[in-house]
């Protein structure tokens, strides 16, 4: 089930490719879950779509590998890792992996329900 995510994470690695309308950034992010145990981390597979048209407003700011970012996006949990489609990326100045706060991930679960209308029978009234 999809969810909305907000977290602070470290950009371990990123690649970029272009399509006709977007620059697609694929990022490996790391969020820390514990100050006491540095092995308690989660990996995020992040995908960001940045419009090539500069007239289109975006909340994805420029970033580099090794930076800490504040990330918001749509989140899907998978076995052993998490996938995020980023809606907002904001670099956090003067932070690195060892200095970034332990916040884990904040998730708000969202869902979609559908109702199907079914005609069982009808009659004409006069």
What is the DSSP code string of 4-18?
Answer: EEEEEEEEEEEEEEE
Task: Report CA dihedral (111, 105, 81, 24) to the nearest 10 degrees.
Answer: 80
Q: Whose CA is closest to 1, among 121, 117, 125, 113?
A: 113
Q: What pLDDT is attached to residue 4? A: 85
Q: Do residues 59 and 48 lie in contact, with contact meaning Cβ atoms separated by under 8 Å?
A: no
| Cβ density class 104-117: b for 16+ within 10 Å, e for less | ebeeeeeeeeeeee
Extents of the domains making up the chain: 3-109
Q: What pLDDT is attached to residue 40? A: 86
DSSP state, 36?
S
End-to-end Cα distance, the chain = 48
Q: What pLDDT is attached to residue 99? A: 84
Instruction: Walk along the chain (126 residues) and give the pLDDT tens digit of each residue.
Output: 568 888 899 999 999 999 999 999 999 999 888 888 878 888 899 999 999 998 999 999 999 999 999 999 988 877 767 889 999 999 998 888 888 888 766 666 655 555 555 555 555 554
Q: Do residues 31 and 41 lie in contact, with contact meaning Cβ atoms separated by under 8 Å?
A: yes
Q: What pLDDT is attached to residue 76? A: 83
Q: What pLDDT is attached to residue 66? A: 93
Is the domain spanning 3-109 CATH 1.10.260.40? The answer is no
Q: What pLDDT is attached to residue 126? A: 47
């Amino acid at each position: 089930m999809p969810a909305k995510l907000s977290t602070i994470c470290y950009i371990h690695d990123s690649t970029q490719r272009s399509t006709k309308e977007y620059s697609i950034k694929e990022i490996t992010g790391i969020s820390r879950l514990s100050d006491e145990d540095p092995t308690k981390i989660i990996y995020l597979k992040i995908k960001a779509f940045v419009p090539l048209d500069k007239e289109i407003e975006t909340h994805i700011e420029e970033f580099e590998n090794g930076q800490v970012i504040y990330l918001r996006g749509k989140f899907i949990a998978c076995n052993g890792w998490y996938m995020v489609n980023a809606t907002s990326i904001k670099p956090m100045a003067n932070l690195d992996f060892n200095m970034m706060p332990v916040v884990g991930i904040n998730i708000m679960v969202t869902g979609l329900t559908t109702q199907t209308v079914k005609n069982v029978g009808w009659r004409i009234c006069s």
